[in-house]
Amino acid sequence: MTISLGVSVSYSRFLSQKTASKKFQEIKKKKINAIEFGLLNCVLGKSQIPGTVPYPSEKQVKAATEIVPPDLYYLSIHAPYRISATSEDPKKLQYSKSNMSKSLLIADWFGAHHVTFHCGSFKRKHNNAHVQRVLEDWEAWRQHKGYNAKMAPEVGGKYNSFADFFTLVEIAGTIDNCLITWDISHDFARGGNITTEDGVLNRLSLLDQTFELNADNRLPMHFSGMVVGKAGEQHHTLLDQGTGVPWKLVFSVIKEQKYLNKVSLICESKVPKNEKILGNSLSDAIRVRDFLESDELEKTYKGKPGHLDYYFG
């Protein structure tokens, strides 16, 4: 069984080829086989917003795939944060659609499997139908343009972000070629019950009922440490830091259920700003790989649950 496991790498037009090559060589040295290219702060055209950057060029992408070719690495894209499927403003929706289109195009340049993205914040109490219509429109556009990469909306980490695990599965499961990105730290932060074996098993069962998952069509899963507040996610951190994401329990169930050939694991651990902690996403990814390849199992959650106390089940 091949484990698909890797890290997220920030990518933009401003990332020099020398810096990119150094990052990719480090990944190759650690012998992990998945990369998520983060276009998180990329924007179309010129922007006056501080911190924004242009999308990478096709030339940059082709140079990257010479080092990390898609036939040897499970590649994916994380679209910009500015995409919103929950907005009801036609101009904002069109802008989001244009950025999704650009992200899908870049994904195809990479030979990537999917594009992870955040749907946005809740605009009213119940906007599931609105988001479904938006994603159906984007999927029709994806097919019209002939893009190959799939869309994979991500489980939100805050109570007011769209949406929880079960809502996203319900919506994405009705749209052709759509998946979800299951971020277990986000799921935990917003009160999802992944601190029990039954809670994880319920999720795996629903995924199997909804999607056709296999080694060529893996469900994207993110993991990291997480600091949780009353509203859910505050910020990512390293594994075993923060509020205590139950990663060992989740991955123990996945091991026992022989689910590793159905998922692609991406580590999003990071050292929070102004904190001095040894480690990074690569070291956490290797730690998870060692756990997955061992006989170790953890069936009881030993940390403290999120503040929302399993609001979504």
**pLDDT tens digits for range 143-169:** 999 999 999 999 999 988 999 999 999
What's the confidence (pLDDT) of residue 2? 82
Q: Is 113 exposed, middle or buried (0-12, 13-18, 19+ CB in 10 A)?
A: buried
Q: Is residue 17 part of a domain?
A: yes
Structural domain of 216: 4-293
Q: What is the helix (H) or strand (E) element at residue 4, kind and residue range?
A: strand 4-10
Q: What pLDDT is recorded for position 126?
A: 59
Establish if 139 belongs to a structural domain.
yes
Mean pLDDT rounded to a whole number for the chain:
92
CATH, residue 266: 3.20.20.150
Q: Which of 19-28, 120-129, 242-251 is least confident?
A: 120-129
Residue 230 lies in a domain: yes
> Does 298 reside within a domain?
no
State pLDDT tens for residues 200-235.
999 999 999 999 999 999 999 999 999 999 899 999
How confident is the model at residue 125, as a pLDDT? 60
pLDDT of residue 262: 98
Q: What is the pLDDT of residues 169-192, one digit of tens each?
A: 999 999 999 999 999 999 999 999
- Whole-angstrom Cα distance, residue 150 to residue 115? 6
In a domain, 303, yes or no: no
The answer to whether residue 241 sits within a structural domain is yes
Question: Residue 144 domain-assigned?
Answer: yes
C-beta of residue 238 within 8 angstroms of C-beta of residue 271? yes
Long-range contacts of the stretch 44-48 (C-beta < 8 A, 24+): 44/95, 44/98, 44/99, 44/102
284 contacts: CB under 8 Å, gap ≥ 6: 224, 225, 238, 239, 267, 269
What is the mean predicted confidence (pLDDT) over 64-86?
Answer: 95
Q: 248: closest CA among 184, 164, 192?
A: 184
pLDDT of residue 60: 95
What's the token pair of residue 171? 């919506």
Q: Is residue 94 situated within a structural domain?
A: yes
- β-bridge pairing 150-153 and 232-237: unpaired
Q: What is the pLDDT of residue 302?
A: 78
Residue 124's pLDDT is 65
The residue whose two tokens read 């996945």 is 254
pLDDT score of 101: 97
pLDDT value of position 279: 81
What average pLDDT does range 88-109 have in this prediction? 96
Work out how many domains the chain is built from and give that number.
1
